[in-house]
Amino acid sequence: MKIKTNKTIKTNKLYWDCDCPDEKNYIHLKSKGNYCKDCMCFSSDCPDSRQEEIDALYVAKKDKVKFKDEIISATTFQLKHNARGNKKASLKCHFEIGDYVETSFCDGTIVELDESTGNCKIKVEQ
């Protein structure tokens, strides 16, 4: 008799894992930045975090961001990277889901992105 096992790994596209050897500080919230200064990795070069590891290790309460119930449409030509708090804005030339961006009238996080056209959806922050 064969026993079926579920080998599906659930990941969360809002978080990413850097290459830090520290077993507690390698999970990052994408909306808080796409670069780890400790291991010098960008989120674009790293995998999304596993949900089970987020649940076990990550203290998400510190990272809560208040969003309006509003999602706007834009193109990446209308955006520029922005920084939260005292951090510097990203210097990368392309955009990804989870990037914190600034439009001409609001700040928000990219939640959908069509890389071929540059069209995106931005969740607006309060």
Residue 22 in contact with residue 12, Cβ under 8 Å? Answer: no
| Mean pLDDT, rounded, of the chain | 76
| 86-106: pLDDT as tens digits | 566 666 677 888 888 887 777
Q: Where are the domains of the chain?
A: 11-63, 67-125
| 16-35: pLDDT as tens digits | 899 888 776 788 888 777 88
Between vectors from CA 126 to CA 123 and to CA 101, what angle results, nearest 5°?
45
Predicted TM-score (pTM) of this structure:
0.46
In the block, tokens 């975090």 appear at 49
Between vectors from CA 79 to CA 65 and to CA 59, what angle results, nearest 5°?
20
Please report, rounded to a whole number, the percentage of residues in the chain having pLDDT higher than 90.
1
